[in-house]
Structure formats: structure tokens, C-alpha cells
């Protein structure tokens, strides 16, 4: 099967790749652009480990084809920090031990950032439902939810 040429923007950089029409955006990010922060936990859109944003919308990159990225703006976990300054969510996750093994962390950070951009003052219930598409098997979510809500509070106070 011949490959298709795709031009897109990832974390602010213009990038191009050739992909098989069957390859997912996740495959392309990982195997063609070496952005391995997004993980494949299921390949069926159930675990959220591959979460990225496409034109500002939170998606599972395993459910989108690589060719569909043409002309879009994609943000991944690798683009969350501002240079060497961590995003407040990243700092808070480390401080709160909101990760154990860390495999779900990239997806959860992308999803949580997306939540706070849309809703700077989420309740615990809203936070839990927003993150319900991101599976974590280690933490029981307690420290993750606390980290997200505390970050939201700090960001509100800072603004």
C-alpha cells in the first residue's frame, strides 16, 4: 500500500511524515516523529494513555488516523512545559506523588490541562468525570484528583 504525505504542527513545530493510511496518529507521533510520550495502553480509546489535543480538542490519538492530522495543530505531553519551566500540573504531580509507575501520567496531564483550560474551577466530581477516560491502575486516583484540584486553585489565585 503506498504511503501518504502529511504536513501538520506538533507542539508548535511544523512536521511532515509519510504514513500508511491504516496507521494511527499515535503510531505516527511515536514511530515517525519520535514523540514517545503518548503511550498505547489499549488501542481502543478506553485507557486515555495516548491523549493529545488536536486543534484544542482532547482526543485519543489511537482512535485517529495519522492522515487525519493534515493541517491540524497537535499538542502532546512533550509540549506541556514551557521550555525548562514545568507546567504547574507537572510540578504538582511530582509533589503529590500523583504517579507511581508513570505510564498513564502523560495522558492524564494532557487531559487535566485540557480540563483546566475549559473549566478553571472544577468540582471534585467534575474532575473525576473529566478524567474518567484516563485509566490509572496504580494510584486509586486519590492523589491525581488532589493534584489537579490544587493546581486549579493555585492557577485561579495567580490569575
Partner 1 sequence: MALDDRKSDFTFVGTRPNRPDGLDKVTGRAKFGADAYAPGMLHGAILRSPYAHARIVKIDTSMAEAHKDVKGVVTRADFADVPFKPGLEGEFWNVLENVMAGEKALYDGHAVAAVAATSALAARDALKLIEVEYEVLPHVTDVDKAMAPDAPVIREGAADYSVPQGMHPNVVRYHESGHGDVEAGFAEADLVIEDSFVTEATHQGYIEPHACLGMLGNDGKGELWCTTQGHWIAQKTCAALLGIETSQLRVTASEIGGGFGGKTTVFIEPVALALSRKANRPVKIVMSRSEVFRATGPTASASMDVKIGMKKDGTISAAQGVFRLQGGAFPGAPGDMTAMCAFAPYNLTNVKQIGYDVMANRPKQAAYRAPGAPMGAFAVESVIDELCKKLGLDPIEVRLKNAAHEGTKASYGPTYERIGLVETLEAAKAHPHYSAPLKPGQGRGISCGFWFNHGGETSVSLALSEDGSAQLMVGTPDIGGSRASMALMAAEVLGIPYENIRVTVADTATLGYNDVSHGSRVTYASGLATIKAARHAVEQLCARAAASWGIPADAVKWENGCAVPSGPNAGDFDPRPLADITAHMGATGGPISGHFEATPEGAGVSFGTHIVDAEVDPETGKTSITRYTVIQDAGKAIHPTYVEGQYQGGAAQGIGWALNEEYIYGEDGRLQNSIFLDYRIPVASDLPMIDTVIVEVPNPGHPFGVRGVGETGIVPPLAAIANAVSHAAGVRMKQLPMSPPRILAALKDNG
Residue numbers 84-143 binding partner 1 by CB under 8 A: 86, 90, 93-97, 99-106, 109, 125, 127-129, 131-143
Question: CB of 149: closest distance to partner 1 in angstroms?
Answer: 11
CB distance 7 to 14 below 8 Å: yes
Neighbours of 126 (CB within 10 A): 13
Cell of 103: 505510564
Among 49, 74, 115, 116, the residue binding partner 1 under the rule CB under 8 A is 49
- Residue 115's H or E segment, with its range, is helix 105-118
Q: Could you give the CA distance from residue 123 to residue 143 in angstroms, rounded to a whole number?
A: 15
Least Å distance, CB 93 to partner 1, is 5
Nearer Cβ to partner 1 (8/106): 106
CA distance 43 to 142: 26
Per CB under 8 A, residues contacting partner 1 are 20, 22-23, 27, 30-31, 34-44, 46-47, 49, 76-78, 80-81, 86, 90, 93-97, 99-106, 109, 125, 127-129, 131-146
Amino acid at each position: 500500500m503506498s504511503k501518504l504525505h502529511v504536513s501538520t504542527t506538533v507542539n508548535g513545530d511544523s512536521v511532515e511524515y509519510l504514513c500508511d493510511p491504516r496507521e494511527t496518529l499515535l503510531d505516527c507521533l511515536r514511530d515517525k516523529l519520535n514523540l514517545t510520550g503518548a503511550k498505547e495502553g489499549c488501542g481502543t480509546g478506553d485507557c486515555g494513555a495516548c491523549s493529545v489535543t488536536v486543534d484544542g480538542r482532547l482526543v485519543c490519538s489511537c482512535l485517529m488516523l495519522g492522515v487525519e492530522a493534515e493541517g491540524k495543530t497537535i499538542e502532546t505531553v512533550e509540549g506541556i512545559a514551557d521550555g525548562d519551566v514545568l507546567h504547574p500540573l507537572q510540578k504538582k504531580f511530582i509533589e503529590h506523588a500523583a504517579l507511581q509507575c508513570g505510564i498513564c501520567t502523560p495522558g492524564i496531564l494532557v487531559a487535566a490541562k485540557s480540563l483546566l483550560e475549559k473549566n478553571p474551577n472544577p468540582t471534585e466530581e467534575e474532575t473525576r468525570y473529566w478524567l474518567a477516560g484516563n485509566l490509572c491502575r496504580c494510584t486509586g486516583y486519590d492523589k491525581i484528583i488532589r493534584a489537579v484540584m490544587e493546581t486549579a486553585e493555585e492557577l485561579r489565585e495567580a490569575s
